[in-house]
Every structure is written in structure tokens, then in C-alpha cells.
């Protein structure tokens, strides 16, 4: 209990005034008090090693018998605010208790007596007595505290009860807080191992107003799967632990005394003999977990080509990607707060993190590298809200976009895949305890991601589930036994350009054997999720990007949700000049002679008929953008002779050339001054004019 006095365990506006341990303030007595510092005679509901014992000197009848001490550091109550003194007491009968807080250097016992908001009624047990101390209009500074242990007026029956031989009052843990609810001590009895059984506790189930003390010598408590538990405070004795099962969460309102290895948290993971499958992204939701101990304490998979490698890896954005630890690793790496790892189990079952409870706001450094992706994770034993996470990390240049990328090992027919979640489309999404995910770092100096303690909550473990109802298309591509997908959302208020929080980039921190994505016209940004206006679907043409191997068939299909009546999804192939319906039960197969890696061939149409325009509407999906100042990239053209002319703002033609149109066309530019130019494109389908900026 001495640790209550250290800053590591002070939370909010709590200030421990006296914990009656070695090194605590000197106690003065007055009015005939008999005081001693003794070993705690009853550690049920109070795990302190030492407590104060107060009696009454023989022959003394003063009602104002008291103990008094200096605070050392004065406690300041702001004007027009209220704070509360909590005092643990234990006595054999009801006693009349009071405090004084207006003492001065000249008179340390000055001021009137304040009685508790609750009476001492738990006879023979430890009870928390609460005293209300208002700041008044000018605020209040408390430098001395006096405690009246036996005034004998308002107790029932009235009269003093203490003596110096066999009737004592025990006192402990005097503290200031900004919370009025009584912090009752509550001891785990361990009759069974179930945390949620009320009879396993001396005062009933812990809650936001009822704490938890876990002593040694009894069975360790187990929190069952998917159970949300709360406690006002927690005090775990060294040598014992709380065992928290998969999907469960723990919230601690105030102090947490939690030695190392006093929290054991389990997460259930799938497994697969295929070395590429059943990987999970995770972090430790508790502190003090080393990589060495984690490898030793869990049945992690071993490498196939190199058996010394174990199924745990960290991620670096320096081009190396995931870096695997080997079985003989003896370094000092740990599950640093908020740092994510990839984990693979040898067999399906639990992995266990063993450490101590983590409170307060947390930060982890992020950076830009070969790519901007950083693997971070929820560092708490509770869920955090995605919308609030982005609100807490909206500092300028902190993130390149309001998107996170989560790995779902069950996606793409069990091959796994990245799931994109964004602030605008998924603000209610809850990130599970210990779940890791990627963010894209912005250019801010000394950049970091923050996790706010106030963002914690209890939720059902609904990882990767969403109940949001919206119009959407999931477009999938399959080659051999590999699948990949991209999504289109149709939402009011979004545009055809990039909408941060509603459009999510494709995760490109790895190489893809097969992939499908969309792009915004005149933009190279690859999107795994694109949000578009939910009106005029018939006029929209969405360019697709495809990565696929040569000499194989690829199959396109869709899953649609809430599409307007009569609207279907069509795939346009500009190389073969075809349109094919791929919504409903329809799919479309294409044989790929040469490997694909880019855009310009395939487009998505949402229309009421397959009799789609091949002329002016087609040109609306042609993309023209400059590659530096020396060239233009034009995608989406049908085959055929094409003329391109370039004009400056004065209307002067500065370039003109003719070429044979393809899906992707690179056009060289002459040496031109920086500025705005008009591109005029003429094809057998019509004419298109677009502006570009050369820098």
C-alpha cells in the first residue's frame, strides 16, 4: 500500500494524505488520544501492511479526541468546486467521526468539524467514510488535517466507545479525491474461480463504485470469455493474478496496484499449417510483456523454410516489412505500449500475455519511411472507439488520412486480407483489446499516435463486424485459389474526388500476387474503399486497377447491398470492347495473356441496362495527369487513332501529336514552362478537354 503514495498510481485529482506506512507523515495526538502505528490486524477488504490504531487514554472524556498531521504538499480545491476526503475505518461499534481542514501553522486544529456523508455501519469491518469539502467562492487550500475518531454525539447509541485497552478504532488510507462515491474495500475470497460469482467477494461484485483486492493464498479469479468487468480500483498482491479470457474487457476507475505478472490476458487465435495463413495482428493490452517471455510462454508456429523462426514478427517501414524473431532470441524487445506485432499459433487456441495493468493516456512514435505505414495497436484491456481515436489524433500532419488497416485472417477464402476502416464511414467501430492495425504516418516532426484513457469502453467483441446500412458494392476478383476485393460506398455528402475519412487507400505495405482496387480519375491514389455520391449512379464510371498473373483466368463477381431497384453492375473491358453484368448471381471470366499491374482496362458501370453508351460518357472516364513536367499519362482510351494537343493559357498551341490509343498511354512533353495548360484529346469516340498543372 505504500505504492499508493507514488505518482505512478495517482490518478486524476486524487492525493493520498496518509497511508500509515513507513515514511508517512508524523501523527500528532490531542484531546486524550492514544495512537500507535501497527501491523494491519484484518487484511480482509484492506491489503495495507500497516494501519493507525486510535484509543482513548484512561480517564479522558473529551469529545474532541483527535489525531492531526501536516499534508506536506497543500491540497488546493478550486473556487466553486468540491472535493472529498475518504478515510478507511474499522471499529467494534458505531462511532461518531469528523474532520477539520482549516488548520494553520499557529493552530493546526482550527475550523469547524465536518462529519461524513455516510455513517460507520459495517461494524467490525473496514468501511470507507466520505467527507465533503467545498472550495467556496474563493477556493480552499488545505495544509493540515485533523481526524476526530470518537466524538460520541451522533452515533447510535450515542456516547464514546474507545479506550486504551481493548476497544480501538483502526484508520487507514486518508485521501482527497474528486469523487463522492464510497470506495468500499472488497476482497476476493476465491470460493470458486469465477470472477462474476458475487459470493466470491467480501462485499459483492466489483463495480465503478466498488473496488477489488486480490490477495494471495486463494484460487486466482478467472474472467470468462466476452465478459465486461469494472472496478473502482484494483489492488493485486504480488504472487497472484487475474486471468482474463478472450474477448473480455476490464475498466479501472481510479488506482491500480498491479505487480508484474499479476494480469494474464488470453486471446484465442486460429491456426493453419500453411505458413502464409492464420496470421493475426496484435499488441499486448497490458504492460511488462517481453518478447522472450512471450515466445517461451506460448505455442507459436515455427517457420517452414527456416524452422528456427517463430510465429512472431515486428514491422518496419524501411523496406524490410515483417521481421521474424527466432527461437533463440535473447534480446530486450518487448510489447512496447501501442506497438503491433504479427502472431501465428502452431495450433488453434489461446496466446497469453502476462504483465501488469496499464492506465493513463499513451503514445507511440510513428514515422515515414519507404512507405508511411506503422503497425500500432490498442494498448488497453478495453475497447476503444474508432471515431474518438481519429479525433484524438487530428493534429496537423499526424496521419496522411483518417484510415486504419486491419488484417482479417479469414478474408479472401481464408487467405487473409486487409480490411479498411475510416472515420467517416465507420465512426462507431470498436477496436478490441490488444487488436493491432496499421496507420499511415504524416510528415509531422516527432510524430506519434495517441491513445486516450477516456476512450475506453465495454463492448461485445465484434471485431470487423458492422451494422451500418448503406448502399455498397463489394467487387471481388479470383485467380486460382486466391481472391481479393475492393468496395464502393454510395453516401450522401461525398464527392467523386478524395474525401478523407470516406475514401480509404489500398494497403501497399506488401507485394500483391492478386489485387483489385479503384482510383479517382486523374489521380494515381489506389483505393480499397471509395465513397461516391448516392445519386445519378447511371452516370458514374469507376476505373479499376488490377494486379494479376499472366496466362491465367481471372473471375470478377460482386456482392451488392441496398442498390436502387433496377440498378445492376456491369464490368467494361476496353481491351475487348465488352460489357458484362456481374451483379446478382452473374460473374465474368477473362483470360489474361500478359500480367496486369495497373489501370486503364477495366471499369465499373452502375446502370439500368447493358445498352451502355460507348461515346461521350466513355470519355468521361478517361484519366489524364502529368508525370513530373516531362510527360503525360492517359488511361482508359479504347484502341484507335488519337490526337492530343496542348495549349497554354493564352490559347497558343505548344504541342500536338497523334498516337494509337491503348489502355495506358505515356506521352512525352517538350520543355515547357511551369503553369496551367489545356489538353485537347480527339478520338473516334469524341473530344475531351482537361486542364493540367505543370510544376
Q: What percent of the chain has pLDDT over 90?
A: 71
| Residues 395 and 507 reside in one and the same domain | no
Question: Is residue 431 in a domain?
Answer: yes
- Mean pLDDT across the stretch 657-686? 83
CA-wise closest residue to 232 among 210, 249, 214, 251:
210
Cα-Cα end-to-end distance for the chain: 66
| Residues 235 and 329 reside in one and the same domain | no
CA-wise closest residue to 596 among 546, 633, 662:
546
Q: Which residue has the cell 465484434?
A: 462
Q: Is the predicted pLDDT of residue 313 greater than 70, yes or no?
A: yes
Question: CB burial class (10 A; 0-12, 13-18, 19+) of residue 649?
Answer: exposed
Question: Is residue 403 in a domain?
Answer: yes
Question: Is residue 112 in a domain?
Answer: yes
Give the integer Cα–Cα distance in Å for 353 and 240: 15
Give yes or no for a contact between 422 and 381, defined as CB atoms under 8 angstroms apart: no
| Residues 664 and 569 reside in one and the same domain | no
Last residue of one domain, picked from the residues 410, 442, 465:
465
The reported pLDDT for the residue numbered 28 is: 97
| Residues 355 and 422 reside in one and the same domain | yes
Q: Which residue has the cell 506519434?
A: 448
- pLDDT digits 0-9 by tens, 389-415: 999 999 999 999 999 999 999 888 888
Give residue 615's pLDDT band: very low, low, confident or very high (50, 70, 90): very low
CA-wise closest residue to 384 among 285, 315, 517:
285
Give Cβ neighbours of residue 49 (< 8 Å, ≥ 6 apart). Answer: 1, 2, 21, 39, 40
Average pLDDT over the chain reads 90
Domain span at 204: 198-259
Q: Which residue has the cell 465507420?
A: 426
Ramachandran angles phi, psi of 152, nearest 5°: 75, 20
- Mean pLDDT across the stretch 528-540? 91
The reported pLDDT for the residue numbered 164 is: 94
Q: Please report, for the domain that includes residue 106, its CATH number.
A: 2.60.120.260
Give the integer Cα–Cα distance in Å for 242 and 259: 11
Q: Show the cell assigned to 652.
A: 497558343
CA-wise closest residue to 630 among 689, 694, 679, 691:
694
Tell me how far CA of residue 108 lies from CA of 53, 65, 102, 445, in angstroms: 21, 14, 8, 52
Give the integer Cα–Cα distance in Å for 430 and 76: 38
Q: Show the cell assigned to 541.
A: 464510371
* E strand segments, 549-635: 552-561, 568-573, 578-581, 588-592, 596-607, 623-627, 631-635
Question: Is residue 182 in a domain?
Answer: no
Ramachandran angles phi, psi of 344, nearest 5°: -135, 125
CA-wise closest residue to 365 among 376, 353, 380, 352:
376
Q: Is the predicted pLDDT of residue 145 greater than 90, yes or no?
A: yes
Give the integer Cα–Cα distance in Å for 486 and 37: 69
| Residues 477 and 455 reside in one and the same domain | no
Q: What are the respective helix, strand and coil percentages of the chain, to the nearest 5?
A: 5, 45, 50
Q: What is the DSSP letter of 210?
A: B
| Residues 395 and 493 reside in one and the same domain | no
| Least confident interval from 162-166, 245-249, 507-511, 530-534 | 507-511
Last residue of one domain, picked from the residues 444, 465, 486:
465
Q: What percent of the chain has pLDDT over 70?
A: 95
The reported pLDDT for the residue numbered 389 is: 97
Give Cβ neighbours of residue 638 (< 8 Å, ≥ 6 apart). Answer: 574, 577, 618, 661, 683, 684, 685
| Residues 35 and 93 reside in one and the same domain | yes
Tell me how far CA of residue 419 lies from CA of 406, 463, 484, 491, 504, in angstroms: 5, 11, 11, 19, 10
Number of domains the chain is built from: 5
Q: Which residue has the cell 471509395?
A: 530
| Residues 341 and 362 reside in one and the same domain | yes
| Residues 205 and 100 reside in one and the same domain | no
Radius of gyration, CA atoms only, the chain:
34
The reported pLDDT for the residue numbered 620 is: 61
Give yes or no for a contact between 210 and 186, defined as CB atoms under 8 angstroms apart: yes
| Residues 244 and 296 reside in one and the same domain | no
Question: Residue 297 belongs to what H/E stretch?
Answer: helix 291-297
Q: Which stretch, 444-448, 462-466, 625-629, has highest mean pLDDT?
A: 444-448
State if pTM tops 0.85. Answer: no
Question: Is residue 190 in a domain?
Answer: no
Question: Is residue 618 in a domain?
Answer: no
The reported pLDDT for the residue numbered 365 is: 97
- pLDDT digits 0-9 by tens, 487-516: 999 999 999 999 999 999 999 887 899 999
Look at 681 and 501; give whichever has higher pLDDT: 501
| Residues 555 and 678 reside in one and the same domain | no
The number of beta carbons lying within 10 Å of the beta carbon of residue 654 is 14
| Least confident interval from 233-247, 506-520, 523-537, 611-625 | 611-625
| Residues 429 and 530 reside in one and the same domain | no
Q: Which residue has the cell 498516337?
A: 659
3-state SS assignment for residue 352: strand
Give the integer Cα–Cα distance in Å for 318 and 260: 33
* E strand segments, 188-306: 212-214, 222-223, 228-231, 234-236, 242-244, 249-252, 256-257, 263-269, 280-282
Give the integer Cα–Cα distance in Å for 255 and 4: 8
| Least confident interval from 43-47, 52-56, 376-380, 646-650 | 646-650
Q: What is the DSSP letter of 497?
A: S
Give the integer Cα–Cα distance in Å for 654 and 645: 8
Last residue of one domain, picked from the residues 232, 259, 286:
259
Question: Is residue 187 in a domain?
Answer: no
Q: Is the predicted pLDDT of residue 463 greater than 60, yes or no?
A: no
Give the integer Cα–Cα distance in Å for 89 and 172: 6
Give the integer Cα–Cα distance in Å for 125 and 545: 71
Question: Is residue 288 in a domain?
Answer: yes
Q: Please report, for the domain that includes residue 688, its CATH number.
A: 2.60.40.2550
Give the integer Cα–Cα distance in Å for 575 and 627: 24
Amino acid at each position: 500500500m505504500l505504492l499508493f503514495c507514488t505518482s505512478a498510481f495517482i490518478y486524476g485529482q486524487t492525493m493520498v494524505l496518509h497511508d500509515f506506512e513507513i515514511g508517512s507523515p508524523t501523527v500528532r495526538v490531542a484531546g486524550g488520544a492514544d495512537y500507535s502505528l501497527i501491523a494491519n490486524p484484518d487484511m480482509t477488504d484492506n491489503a495495507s501492511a500497516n494501519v493507525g490504531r486510535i484509543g482513548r487514554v484512561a480517564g479522558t472524556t473529551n469529545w474532541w479526541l483527535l489525531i492531526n498531521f501536516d499534508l506536506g504538499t497543500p491540497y488546493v480545491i478550486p473556487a466553486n468546486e468540491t472535493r472529498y476526503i475518504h478515510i478507511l475505518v474499522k471499529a467494534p461499534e458505531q462511532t461518531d467521526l469528523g474532520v477539520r481542514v482549516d488548520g494553520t501553522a499557529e493552530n493546526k486544529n482550527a475550523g469547524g468539524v465536518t462529519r461524513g456523508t455516510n455513517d460507520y455501519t459495517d461494524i467490525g469491518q473496514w468501511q470507507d467514510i466520505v467527507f465533503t469539502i467545498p472550495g467556496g467562492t474563493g477556493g480552499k487550500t488545505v495544509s493540515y488535517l485533523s481526524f476526530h475518531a470518537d466524538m460520541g454525539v451522533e452515533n447510535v447509541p450515542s456516547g464514546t466507545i474507545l479506550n486504551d485497552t481493548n476497544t480501538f478504532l483502526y484508520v487507514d488510507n486518508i485521501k482527497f479525491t474528486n469523487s463522492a462515491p464510497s470506495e468500499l474495500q472488497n476482497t476476493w475470497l476465491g470460493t470458486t474461480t469465477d470472477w462474476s460469482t458475487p459470493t466470491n467477494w467480501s462485499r459483492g461484485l466489483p463495480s465503478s463504485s466498488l473496488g477489488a483486492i486480490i490477495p494471495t493464498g486463494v484460487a486466482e479469479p478467472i474472467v470468462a470469455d466476452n465478459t465486461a468487468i469494472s472496478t473502482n480500483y484494483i489492488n493485486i498482491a504480488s504472487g497472484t493474478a487475474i486471468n482474463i479470457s478472450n474477448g473480455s474487457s476490464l475498466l479501472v476507475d481510479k488506482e491500480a496496484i498491479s505487480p508484474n505478472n499479476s494480469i494474464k490476458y488470453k486471446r484465442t487465435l486460429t491456426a493453419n499449417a500453411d505458413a502464409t495463413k492464420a496470421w493475426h495482428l496484435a499488441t499486448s493490452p497490458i504492460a511488462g510483456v517481453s518478447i522472450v517471455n512471450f515466445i517461451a510462454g506460448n505455442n507459436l508456429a515455427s517457420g517452414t523454410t527456416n524452422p528456427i523462426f517463430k510465429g512472431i514478427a515486428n514491422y518496419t517501414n524501411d523496406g524490410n516489412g515483417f521481421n521474424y524473431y527466432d527461437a533463440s532470441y535473447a534480446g530486450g524487445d518487448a510489447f512496447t505500449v501501442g506497438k503491433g506485432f504479427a502472431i501465428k499459433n502452431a495450433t488453434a487456441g489461446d496466446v497469453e500475455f502476462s504483465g501488469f495493468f496499464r492506465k493513463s493516456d499513451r503514445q507511440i512514435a510513428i514515422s515515414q519511411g519507404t512507405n508511411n505505414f506503422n503497425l500500432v495497436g490498442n494498448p488497453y484491456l478495453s475497447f476503444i472507439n474508432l471515431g474518438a481515436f481519429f479525433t484524438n489524433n487530428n493534429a496537423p500532419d499526424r496521419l496522411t488520412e483518417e484510415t486504419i488497416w486491419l488484417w482479417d485472417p479469414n478474408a479472401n477464402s481464408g487467405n487473409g486480407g486487409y480490411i479498411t476502416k475510416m472515420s467517416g464511414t465507420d465512426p462507431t467501430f470498436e477496436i478490441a483489446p490488444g487488436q493491432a492495425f496499421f496507420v499511415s504516418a504524416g510528415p509531422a516532426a516527432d510524430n506519434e499516435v495517441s491513445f486516450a484513457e477516456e476512450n475506453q469502453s465495454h463492448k461485445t467483441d465484434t471485431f470487423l463486424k458492422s451494422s451500418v446500412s448503406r448502399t455498397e458494392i463489394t467487387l471481388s476478383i479470383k485467380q486460382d485459389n486466391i481472391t481479393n476485393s475492393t468496395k464502393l460506398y454510395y453516401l450522401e455528402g461525398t464527392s467523386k474526388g478524395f474525401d478523407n475519412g470516406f475514401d480509404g487507400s489500398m494497403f501497399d505495405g506488401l507485394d500483391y500476387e492478386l489485387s483489385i482496387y479503384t482510383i479517382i480519375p486523374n489521380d494515381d491514389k489506389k483505393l480499397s474503399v471509395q465513397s461516391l455520391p448516392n445519386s445519378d449512379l447511371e452516370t458514374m464510371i469507376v476505373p479499376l486497377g488490377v494486379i494479376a498473373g499472366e496466362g491465367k483466368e481471372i473471375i470478377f463477381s460482386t456482392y451488392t447491398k441496398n442498390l436502387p431497384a433496377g440498378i445492376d453492375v456491369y464490368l467494361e473491358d476496353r481491351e475487348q470492347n465488352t460489357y458484362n453484368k456481374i451483379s446478382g448471381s452473374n460473374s465474368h471470366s477473362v483470360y489474361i495473356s500478359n500480367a496486369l499491374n495497373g489501370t486503364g482496362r477495366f471499369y465499373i458501370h452502375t446502370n439500368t441496362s447493358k445498352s451502355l453508351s460507348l461515346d461521350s460518357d466513355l470519355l468521361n472516364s478517361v484519366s489524364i495527369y502529368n508525370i513530373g513536367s516531362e510527360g503525360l499519362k492517359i488511361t482508359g482510351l479504347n484502341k484507335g487513332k488519337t490526337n492530343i494537343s496542348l495549349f497554354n493559357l493564352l490559347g497558343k498551341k505548344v504541342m500536338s501529336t497523334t498516337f494509337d490509343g491503348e489502355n495506358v498511354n505515356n506521352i512525352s512533353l517538350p520543355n515547357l514552362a511551369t503553369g496551367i495548360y489545356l489538353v485537347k484529346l480527339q478520338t473516334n469516340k469524341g473530344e475531351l478537354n482537361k486542364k493540367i498543372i505543370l510544376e
